[in-house]
Chain A
Amino acid sequence: MYICPMYTSELIKGTLKTIILNLLKERGKMYGYEITQTVKEMTKGKIQITEGALYPTLHSLEKKGDVGFEKEYLGKRVRKYYTLTDQGEETAQAKVNEFADFINTMKYLLDLEPKMGNA
């Protein structure tokens, strides 16, 4: 579901929640379009979240209670600003920690950063 000019979707699958939760943690409230644009800018276009993946994920996070929302009425449009709940803060932290650990493991597993000092 991702359009990501640089990374294959298999590679990024499973990180979307981490990205969204962490972004909300840093920026407070955000709406859907803003999230996609921010990610695009921050990664210089390397990761582009598609709408088809973003909204289902936001809805499921909302149901789980990780994110809450505020509605803003713009004429006939309704803009939903998503915010992190207390539970979401914990989930975000857990996800980031898990991912950091994962990256380290992968580095070691794939021998990307040979351990220093043993030579």
Chain B
Amino acid sequence: MHKITEDEIDFILDDIKANGVVIEDLQYNLLDHICCIIENEKSESEEFKEFYRKVVPRFFKKDFKEIQEETEVLLTFKNYYAMRNTLKIAGIASAILTVLGAILKTFHLPGAGIALIMGGILFSLVFLPLVIVLKFKDEESKTDKWVFSIGFLLAILITLGIIFKLMHWPYANIMMFSGLTTFVFGYVPLYFITRIRRPELRFNTIVNSVLMMACGGMLYALQDLGYSKKTTNDYSVYYNYIDESKASITNANLMLYKKMDTSKTEVVLLRNQTKSLDHLINEIKQSLDAKILRKNGEPKNNRLHRQKGVHFTKDGFYKSKDELSFNDLKSAVTDYNIFISKHGTKDRQIDIDVLSENEPIYNVLVDILNQIQLQIANNENALLNHWG
């Protein structure tokens, strides 16, 4: 009987480890087993390494790793049937919740949001991951395994993107957009190419590819929907109205100044206060315009396009370090309010709390600034009429 030396044990253990067996228990089990075989079956005349090379192929078809993989599979898929059941229940529940949510939403009934979100989360975080895991076990072809898994991963990404979008959570667009782009331009061609050459799958592949392309493409088209022409027109009518009334009041004020004694201190003060605040707001608007232009590039001929600066006003205005920030406006308005409350009623004061509380997006900010300008002109007009 061959007595195994420590060097030989090290050699065997290293070989087992080098061949991809990582579970320690399994390493020692195999080591002991091989040692037993060598001790019991090797004749004195045979050389150790030669005999070892002859023995190990008994353990596998290709290499040691198979045993490791088989062990992993048995350990992981202990819950195989539980997983299948969860998959079925999660699938049915998510389908029911999604349809229910859609119906509730259509009829503006309460609970729509919750049903849709629950359905989406069940679908993307329970159903699809389980499908991937089970597909990996069941699917025979290696290519198909990967192709299907990539598809399901993209589906998870897109569904999460849609949920985020519905909930107005951040990064919704980037998730939906990257998911859909990869799906339509990457995944569908990949699916098509890997399957079209197999005659038995040919028809199915064509139908599925067209379906996926159509659904993905339509969602993709919805992604960056702009505003309808009607909405943009409505907005421009509104902007024009504000611009025109401001212009007409300013004109009327000019006429009033001409008629009255402009050397009076209060009149001079009113004129200066009005002018300086109006001027400051104009400058702020110009600077905002320039900043957003630098950020978003040339606008597509309407103001709504600049709504893309949703998160821009925070750094560009409220926390801006250069001049023409929110604090500059605030101190100018405070000055103006002190002056106006001396001569008029309290409701003529300008309230900019709404600006600091909500930090609105670019369009709304510009809107409010325009309205402040209109109110200044109105105040001026009222005081001039009063004094005249």
Q: How many A-B residue pairs have CB under 8 A?
A: 71
**A51-B58, A53-B70 known; A60-B75 Cβ under 8 A:** yes
Q: Give the residue name and chain of the B residue nearest to A58 (CB).
A: B29
For the residues of B in contact with A, the DSSP-based class is helix
Cβ contacts under 8 Å, A32 to chain B: 29, 32-33
| A55 sits at the interface (CB 8 A) | yes
Q: How far is the CA of A52 from the CA of B66 in the complex (A)?
A: 7
Q: Give the residue name and chain of the B residue nearest to A77 (CB).
A: B32
- Shortest Cβ distance from B62 into chain A, in angstroms? 11
Cβ contacts under 8 Å, B9 to chain A: 75-77
| A104 sits at the interface (CB 8 A) | no
Chain A, range 30-60, C-beta contacts under 8 Å to B: 31-33, 36, 50-53, 55-60
Establish whether residues B59 and A77, one from each chain, have CB atoms under 8 Å apart when the complex forms.
no
**A50-B58, A51-B59, A77-B31 known; A59-B78 Cβ under 8 A:** no
| B82 sits at the interface (CB 8 A) | no
Q: How far is the CA of A50 from the CA of B67 in the complex (A)?
A: 11
| B6 sits at the interface (CB 8 A) | yes
Establish whether residues A63 and B75, one from each chain, have CB atoms under 8 Å apart when the complex forms.
yes
**A32-B32, A33-B37, A76-B10 known; A59-B59 Cβ under 8 A:** no
**A52-B59, A52-B66, A60-B78 known; A33-B32 Cβ under 8 A:** yes
Establish whether residues B32 and A55, one from each chain, have CB atoms under 8 Å apart when the complex forms.
no
Establish whether residues B25 and A59, one from each chain, have CB atoms under 8 Å apart when the complex forms.
yes
- Shortest Cβ distance from A72 into chain B, in angstroms? 9
- Chain A residues with a Cβ closer than 8 Å to the other chain, count: 25
- Shortest Cβ distance from B28 into chain A, in angstroms? 4
Q: Give the residue name and chain of the B residue nearest to A72 (CB).
A: B32
What is the 8 Å Cβ interface bit string for chain B, positions 33-76, against chain A (1 contact, 0 not)? 10111000000000000000000001111000011001101110
What is the 8 Å Cβ interface bit string for chain B, positions 152-172, against chain A (1 contact, 0 not)? 000000000000000000000
Cβ contacts under 8 Å, B10 to chain A: 76
- Shortest Cβ distance from B67 into chain A, in angstroms? 5
Establish whether residues B66 and A55, one from each chain, have CB atoms under 8 Å apart when the complex forms.
no
| A107 sits at the interface (CB 8 A) | no
Establish whether residues A59 and B6, one from each chain, have CB atoms under 8 Å apart when the complex forms.
no
- Shortest Cβ distance from A14 into chain B, in angstroms? 13
Establish whether residues A60 and B74, one from each chain, have CB atoms under 8 Å apart when the complex forms.
yes
| B30 sits at the interface (CB 8 A) | yes
Establish whether residues A52 and B70, one from each chain, have CB atoms under 8 Å apart when the complex forms.
yes
Chain A, range 76-92, C-beta contacts under 8 Å to B: 76-80
Establish whether residues A55 and B30, one from each chain, have CB atoms under 8 Å apart when the complex forms.
yes
**A51-B58, A55-B71 known; A80-B28 Cβ under 8 A:** yes
- Shortest Cβ distance from A88 into chain B, in angstroms? 15
Establish whether residues A80 and B70, one from each chain, have CB atoms under 8 Å apart when the complex forms.
no
| B26 sits at the interface (CB 8 A) | yes
| B99 sits at the interface (CB 8 A) | no
Cβ contacts under 8 Å, A50 to chain B: 58-59
- Shortest Cβ distance from B346 into chain A, in angstroms? 77
Q: How far is the CA of A74 from the CA of B13 in the complex (A)?
A: 14
Establish whether residues A56 and B74, one from each chain, have CB atoms under 8 Å apart when the complex forms.
yes
Cβ contacts under 8 Å, B71 to chain A: 55-56, 59-60
Cβ contacts under 8 Å, B60 to chain A: 52
Q: How far is the CA of A36 from the CA of B75 in the complex (A)?
A: 22
Q: Give the residue name and chain of the B residue nearest to A76 (CB).
A: B9
- Shortest Cβ distance from A63 into chain B, in angstroms? 6
| B23 sits at the interface (CB 8 A) | yes
Q: How far is the CA of A63 from the CA of B37 in the complex (A)?
A: 27
Q: How far is the CA of A52 from the CA of B65 in the complex (A)?
A: 10
**A59-B25, A59-B75, A63-B78 known; A51-B35 Cβ under 8 A:** no
Q: How far is the CA of A34 from the CA of B160 in the complex (A)?
A: 53
- Shortest Cβ distance from B41 into chain A, in angstroms? 10
Cβ contacts under 8 Å, A77 to chain B: 9, 28, 31-32, 35
Cβ contacts under 8 Å, B33 to chain A: 32-33, 36, 51, 55
Q: How far is the CA of A55 from the CA of B33 in the complex (A)?
A: 10
Cβ contacts under 8 Å, B61 to chain A: 52
| Chain B residues with a Cβ under 8 A of chain A | 6, 9-10, 13, 23, 25-26, 28-33, 35-37, 58-61, 66-67, 70-71, 73-75, 78
The 8 closest A-B pairs by CB, nearest first: A33-B36, A60-B74, A56-B70, A56-B71, A78-B28, A51-B59, A76-B9, A33-B33
17 A-B residue contacts at CB 8 Å?
A1-B70, A32-B29, A51-B30, A52-B61, A52-B66, A52-B67, A56-B71, A59-B23, A60-B71, A60-B75, A63-B78, A75-B9, A77-B9, A77-B32, A80-B25, A80-B28, A80-B32
